[in-house]
């Protein structure tokens, strides 16, 4: 397998893994588990009074992004290994 072909297969594989990850994160944050200020205020009234909703909305997104990205590292390693190991 030529070097350019390997690079393309790796790039395509990485793009597919990241696209699936981001589509899942965005679906979860926008549809399945959105940040709802009223629920946040009811659960944590002191925090809600002290910190603007925008900060907690960002934190809500960040938590839903970081956790699945940990699994993506393994998938990315598989992409690279398959190109270099599998004929």
Output 60-64 pairs: Cβ under 8 A, ≥24 positions apart.
60/29, 60/35, 61/25, 61/29, 61/35, 64/25, 64/28, 64/29, 64/33
Boundaries of every domain in the chain = 3-85
Q: Which pLDDT value is given to residue 32?
A: 96
DSSP 44: -
Q: Yes or no: say if 51 and 16 are a contact pair by the CB < 8 Å rule.
A: no
For 20-74, write each residue's pLDDT tens digit: 999 999 999 999 999 999 999 999 999 999 999 999 999 999 988 888 888 889 9
pTM, rounded to two decimals: 0.74
Q: Which pLDDT value is given to residue 3?
A: 78
């Amino acid at each position: 397998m030529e070097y350019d072909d390997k690079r393309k297969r790796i790039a395509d594989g990485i793009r597919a893994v990241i696209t699936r990850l981001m589509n899942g994160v965005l679906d979860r944050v926008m549809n399945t588990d959105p940040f709802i200020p009223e629920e946040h205020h009811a659960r944590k009234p002191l925090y809600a009074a002290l910190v603007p909703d925008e900060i907690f909305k960002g934190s809500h997104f960040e938590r839903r992004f970081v956790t699945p990205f940990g699994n993506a590292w393994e998938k990315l390693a598989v992409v690279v290994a398959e190109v270099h190991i599998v004929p």
